[in-house]
Amino acid sequence: MFGKRRRQFDFRNPKIYRTTKKETNVSFNPKYIWLFLILILIGLAVWWFFYSQTFLIKNIEITGTVNDSIKAEIDKFYNKNIFLFVIGQSDMELAKKQTSIERLNIIKGIPDTLKIEVLVRKPDIRWKTKDKIYFIDENGIIFNLETQNEDDNKLPCVVDGRNLEIKLGSKAVTSDFVDFIKKLAEKLPEESKKEIAEMRIEETTLHLTVKFKDSYQIFFDTLGSFDDQLYLLKKTIEKHNGEIKEYIDLRVDGKAYYK
């Protein structure tokens, strides 16, 4: 009989088997490096434009006349970032603080300058109410005039017999009314050979009373033709000058009444 063959093991010199080592390579994708650099550059640019001293407002140039209130507001613009400074909102807020301003433009001059252009309303007539005198431009806007000269004080003045409150910066009368007053102040003394003492409205701006010095008064319709009324006035004075004691009424179209 054959006996079973036994496997022989050599325990004195055992064989050692190791697992296969997987090799790994670590590398950076170039696009991530460029992205990182771009983010750094953007951060530096943001800091430079919005947080550095380079673009802080240091110079303000003003063209035109502004009052003390607006000057104080303009001074607050110093040291603000010129890119974060909002023009549209600022110029409207400034204009509201000075009713004589017709238009105000703010222009940015990079890196640190603001140029402010102020267009002041041109006064055409004066308006007196409650013993205070205001000015009205050609569009009928009523306002205060910060600086006045001799010519401004010689403008024709209309007295509001109603003594109504006025809202500065608002439209007080029509442009046609302003034009009527200007023509009247220019031509009436020449045609009547008399000096105007006062121009006055009572119930409405549609009717105007002109008083001559030491003489009678004239009632005008400010919606009617100025030339037609002046012609009627001239003819009435020529024919009835000695008979006119109190007034000439020109408010009826094509007619002249006197007393």
| Nearest alpha carbon to residue 198 among 211, 208, 183 | 211
What is the pLDDT confidence band of residue 18, given thresholds at 50, 70 and 90? low
Over residues 77-81, mean pLDDT: 93
Q: Average pLDDT, stretch 161-166?
A: 90
- Per-residue pLDDT at 225 exceeds 60: yes
Please give the pLDDT value at position 102. Answer: 87
Could you read off the pLDDT of 24-69 as tens digits, one per residue?
A: 565 667 777 888 788 888 888 888 888 889 999 999 999 888 888 8
3-class SS at 57? coil
- In this prediction, residue 8 has a pLDDT band, given cuts at 50, 70 and 90, of low
Q: Please name the helix (run of DSSP H) or strand (run of DSSP E) that holds residue 226, with its range, or none.
A: helix 226-240
Rounded to two decimals, the pTM is 0.74
Domains by residue range for the chain, with CATH: 59-120 (3.10.20.310), 125-258 (3.40.50)
How much is the average pLDDT of 75-87?
90
Please, which residues have CB within 8 angstroms of residue 79's CB and are 6 or more apart in sequence?
Answer: 56, 57, 58
- Compute the distance between CA of residue 35 and CA of residue 129 in angstroms, rounded to an integer: 71
- pLDDT tens digits along 184-217: 999 999 988 899 999 999 989 999 999 999 889 9
- pLDDT at residue 256 in the model: 92
Average pLDDT over residues 215-233: 94
The residue assigned the tokens 């607050």 is: 76
Question: How many CB atoms are located within 10 Å of the residue 102 CB?
Answer: 15
Q: What is the mean pLDDT of the chain?
A: 87
Residues 6+ apart with CB under 8 A from 171: 139, 140, 141, 142
- Evaluate if residue 22 carries a pLDDT over 80: no
